[in-house]
Amino acid sequence: MSLIVQKYGGTSVADLERIHNVAKRVAKTYDQNNDVVVILSAMAGVTDNLIDMANTIAESPDKRELDVLLATGEQTTAALLAMTLKKMNYPALSMLGHQAGVITDRSYGNARIIEIGAEYILKLIQKRNIVVVAGFQGSDVGGNITTLGRGGSDTSAVAIASALKADICEIYTDVDGIYTADPNICEKARKIDRISYDEMLNMASLGAKVLQIRSVGFAKKYNVPVHVRSSFSEEEGTMVVSEDAGMESLVVSAVTHDKNQARITLTKVQDRPGVAAKIFAPLAEAGIVVDMIIQNIRPEGQTDLTFTIPKAQFKTAMEIERKVAEEIEAQDVLGDKNIAMVSVVGVGMKNHSGVASMMFNTLARENINIMMISTSEIRISCVIEEKYTELAVRVLHTAFGLDKED
């Protein structure tokens, strides 16, 4: 007998028919003599509709109240699934975040889990109940409802799996696993059977949207085996596990791309102490996350400073930096929205040289200009012109031997 945590995303519970399919899958797992805890997202689109409603009331709706509002989405699906399971004569019951003991800090809209009081769930599953938990939500120590941010149900699932010492955390989604590249643009992309937490962390932060990045960090920290798979098929998906669990021995595991970035350059910045703080502090205050930063030193003691930010915040960031440039007497502010970041990721990179030059050569051969480069231990990212994204992904996928056999 295993203890299995299953998380179903918004498209998997989008209507009553799909909820019924989820119930059948849960029941089947239970009938195979497993204990089952289910974590649910809201129905696809519901959270966005609630946010739209709140935004009609105020541009920046009160964060505490927004969380109370958004929490209804997962409450609804949890009740509906438990109801469906009961109708099928399974001993199920729903639980909200606070009932499941998900204690968070008070950062409404983006709360961090402090603690999971697992006793109550454990007691219920020991009596062979199926526990259905509303994902995405928790409460602070004062009992105020909090939510964990976009994709937070993944984090709920991994955290609860960890607290329950579950044998596995299955993440059911509308794709059937993690791919070596986005199959929509690279038809030779292969499904990956096993991938390490670190690779997954890099992929998540580089635009592969299958898992919320925080959930992967959590899984890594507490060594929770995660199985990403489709709720619409019976096929095995991708196991996300710790590195020593027998990885494929490829140098590069995947090619990712991210078109949601934009680039800003400040030219001829005086290279004085404190100048970087002046450039980046106002962005942080505006809640704009800067990703890549590079600095080219000019001979005359000035530098050009270039960084990337989310495309959606390009306009705000440009306005902020124009003021900054005036203040610090930079020459100019240049912006470019037509960029993309392509990356290669793989734990094998640590023991192989030549990955970077292979990447640069491969792009050069196609006359794709590299605007920015950034590297970590297990990835190399290049910023290129957006129009070359698909081409770059495909040629890198081939160059690093990832193409599936025909």
| Residues in touch with a copy of itself (CB under 8 A) | 16, 20, 50, 53-54, 56-58, 61-62, 64-66, 68-69, 71-72, 75-76, 78-80, 82-84, 86-87, 93-94, 96, 99, 143, 145
Minimum distance of a copy of itself from residue 132's CB (angstroms) = 9
Minimum distance of a copy of itself from residue 34's CB (angstroms) = 22
Instruction: Output 50 or 288, the one with its CB closest to a copy of itself.
Output: 50
Minimum distance of a copy of itself from residue 79's CB (angstroms) = 4
Q: Could you tell me which residues come within 8 angstroms of residue 314 by beta carbon, excluding any fewer than 6 positions away?
A: 262, 264, 335, 337
Instruction: Output 16 or 281, the one with its CB closest to a copy of itself.
Output: 16
Buried b (16+ CB within 10 A) or exposed e, 105-138: eeebbbbebeebebeebbebbeeebbbbbbbbbb
Instruction: Output 118 or 189, the one with its CB closest to a copy of itself.
Output: 118
Minimum distance of a copy of itself from residue 255's CB (angstroms) = 42
Minimum distance of a copy of itself from residue 183's CB (angstroms) = 35
Q: Give the span between the Cα atoms of 255 and 346, in whole angstroms.
A: 9
Minimum distance of a copy of itself from residue 44's CB (angstroms) = 16
Q: Which pairs from 14-21 meet CB under 8 Å and 24+ separation?
A: 14/43, 14/44, 14/45, 15/43, 16/80, 16/84, 18/231, 19/77, 19/80, 19/81, 19/84, 20/84, 21/231
332-336 vs 293-297, strand pairing mode: unpaired
Instruction: Output 16 or 245, the one with its CB closest to a copy of itself.
Output: 16
**φ and ψ at 8, to 5 degrees?**
-115, 130
Single-letter amino acid, residue 98: H
Instruction: Output 142 or 301, the one with its CB closest to a copy of itself.
Output: 142
